[in-house]
Amino acid sequence: MDPDSPIDEQEKDLFVGIFRQLSAYKDPYQSISGILKDTCEFFGFFGAFVYEADHAKVFHLFEHYRAPEAGLREQFVLSDYLSERDIKELTQKPGGIVYLKSKKTRLGAKFLELFSAKTLIMIPIIFEYQEPTAFIGMLDRRHPIRLTKREVVDADAVLSVLAGHIKMRVYQKRLEYAYSSLRNVIDKAGLDIYVNDFYTHELLFANESLAAPHGGVDKIEGQPCWKALYFNKTEECEFCPKNKLVDADGNPTQVYSWDMQRSSDGSWFRMVHAAIRWVDGRLAHVVSSIDITENKYNEMLVRRLAECDTLTSLPNRGKLVEDMNGTLAMLEQTKEQGYLIFLDLDDFKQVNDTLGHLAGDALLRQIGHFLQNESAILGMPYRYGGDEFVIIAANKTAASLEQIQELLLKRFALEWCIGEQSVFCGVSIGAVRIPLGNKTADDLVHAADMAMYEVKKSGKHGFRLSTLE
């Protein structure tokens, strides 16, 4: 420093210059090497440095003034030079400034050795976990530089301003890394995600997999979600469940999920909705979806296997009970009527005994196909078990029942062809009118079964309507 110049004017010029340069920076990554040069020249140091640590706690020389001449390392690991006790002492120093001009102290000896310097003044930048994240400082390896208390205070002030800038830069870098990492995770998570304004529907965020079919993220962000994602929508989607996501005061409450089938190709998606606060504080609606088409088809296959008779491909007894309860409820509501019809094959055991069980199975399959093919007249057929079948004939009149009776008895009076064999197999049929008061599905099946047994006792191959009231 020039001893002839008033120290206050020099300080003022230095500080004004630093603040002007920093305030002019539009990019937080813009170099401060020029400021480091001015600071070194002001305080009489030979070189200056900024080191920043990476995720592995390796400090890299990020910026400098006269690095080669000053002998600055390109990188170092602090724990190679300092113990945990030393690092703790370093981070707890009042004011943060570290001014070293002697190897008499343990910390002084280690740092002066690390930087191969005779004088070192620096500020450790502490971010989290009480560990240094960066260092900014000046050094001189030519000879010791003795600063007055006033100069140490001035150096502390200058380096503190620069340290604040570096801390903001590190914070900005971490935010960018965090955003980039989170974006990569969301883009590769195997599901589609978007976020829109809860009230205006403006699309605030979309991951790549969702945006790709619509022209990419840049094309759809900023548009109303219904316009960006649906070609035929002119207003908010009628199925949007956003009102289920907030309480009466408009605060986020619960997550809501449902399954949606896309009409264009039949694909199924699990939709998950939630209300959240966006980065700017506004209420937002986050929607994620994952393709569950394969799962849905597997569920339908499992359900079909559970509800279907594998021999005849007709619905089984379990499905009959379920459908019967639904039919009774429907008929009660519409005030219509119908019939439950119970069929039992006559002398089916003789087919098994004379032609074998394979022939018996073939006959059951043919009968199942016949009942299914004539379901428009008969109603919905089920295999009840063994050689028994049941038909739910909903919305049928007494005249319709006569037509069903005639069709069944006429067909079962004819032969059935099994390979090169022909067999005759009559049928005993019982029926009951539905609904019938408060009678349950089991009650009605039993009534039709009893009516069928009356036919069996009276000579087989006939029809009887239950008198149950």
Q: What is the pLDDT of residue 2?
A: 44
Q: Which amino acid is at 462?
A: G
3-state secondary structure of 101: coil
Residue 186, domain member (yes or no): no
Mean pLDDT of 449-469: 93
Q: Cα-atom radius of gyration of the chain, to the nearest Å? A: 43
pLDDT greater than 90 at residue 63: yes
pLDDT above 90 for 321 = yes
Question: Of the residues 145, 179, 213, which one is the last residue of a structural domain?
Answer: 179
Q: At 394, phi and psi to the nearest 5?
A: -80, 150
The answer to whether 112 and 95 are in contact (CB under 8 A) is no
Give me the helices (H) in 188-258, please.
Answer: 208-211, 217-220, 225-229
Question: Residue 381 is encoded by which pair of tokens?
Answer: 């057929």
Query: Highest-confidence range of 106-110, 181-185, 289-293, 410-414, by mean pLDDT?
Result: 410-414
Whether residue 107 is predicted with pLDDT greater than 50 in this model: the reply is yes
DSSP code for 246: B
Q: What is the residue range of 344's domain?
A: 311-465
Q: Which amino acid is at 52?
A: E
Answer whether residue 278 shows pLDDT above 90: yes
Which amino acid is present at 341? I
132 cis-preceded (ω within 30 degrees of 0): no
CATH number of the domain to which 199 belongs = 3.30.450.20
The C-alpha atoms of residue 150 and residue 145 are separated, in whole angstroms, by 14
Does the pLDDT value for residue 431 go beyond 60? yes
% of the chain beyond a pLDDT of 70: 96
Residue 161 in tokens: 């301003």
Measured CA angle at 458 (ends 454, 461), to 5 deg: 90
Counting other chains too, the contacts that 101-106 makes at CB distance below 8 Å and 24 or more residues apart are: 101/144, 101/145, 101/146, 102/144
- Predicted local confidence at residue 128, as pLDDT: 66
Q: Supply 10's token pair.
A: 């020099």
pLDDT value at 146 more than 80: yes
The reply to whether 241 and 332 lie within a common domain is no
Mean pLDDT value across residues 349-374: 95
Whether 53 and 120 map to the same domain: the answer is yes
Neighbours of 42 (CB within 10 A): 20
Tell me the two tokens of residue 449.
Answer: 């079964």
Please provide the average confidence, as pLDDT, over all residues in the chain: 90
Banded model confidence at residue 4, pLDDT cuts 50, 70, 90: very low
Mean pLDDT, residues 429-451? 94
Check whether residue 160 and residue 12 sit in a common domain.
yes
What does the buried/exposed string (b/e) look like for 388-425 if buried means 16 or more CB atoms within 10 Å of the residue's CB? bbbbbbbebeeebbeebbeebeeebeeebebeeeebeb
> Same domain, yes or no, for 83 and 203?
no
Cα distance between residue 28 and residue 65, in whole Å: 19
Check pLDDT > 70 for residue 106: yes
* Domain count for the chain: 3
End-to-end CA distance of the chain: 116
Same domain, 151 and 24: yes
What CATH code is carried by the domain that includes residue 369? Answer: 3.30.70.270
Comparing 59-63, 147-151, 374-378, 429-433, the range with the smallest average pLDDT is: 147-151
pLDDT at 244 over 60: yes
CB atoms within 10 A of CB 256: 15
Average pLDDT over residues 199-213: 93
Higher pLDDT, 91 or 165: 165
pLDDT at position 96 is 62
95 pLDDT higher than 70: no
| Same domain assignment for residues 64 and 135 | yes
pTM of this structure? 0.60
pLDDT score of 103 more than 70: no
> Where among 294, 324, 345 does a domain terminate?
294
Report d(CA 55, CA 128) in Å as an integer: 13
| 326 domain-assigned | yes
Measured CA to CA, the distance from residue 367 to residue 350 in angstroms comes to 16
For residue 152, give the nearest of 104, 126, 127, 119 by alpha carbon.
119
Q: Quote the CA–CA distance of 411 and 197 in Å, as a whole number.
A: 66
Joined tokens for residue 30: 């813009």
CA–CA distance, 412 with 424 (Å, rounded to integer): 8
Query: If you average pLDDT over residues 101-106, what whole number do you get?
Result: 72
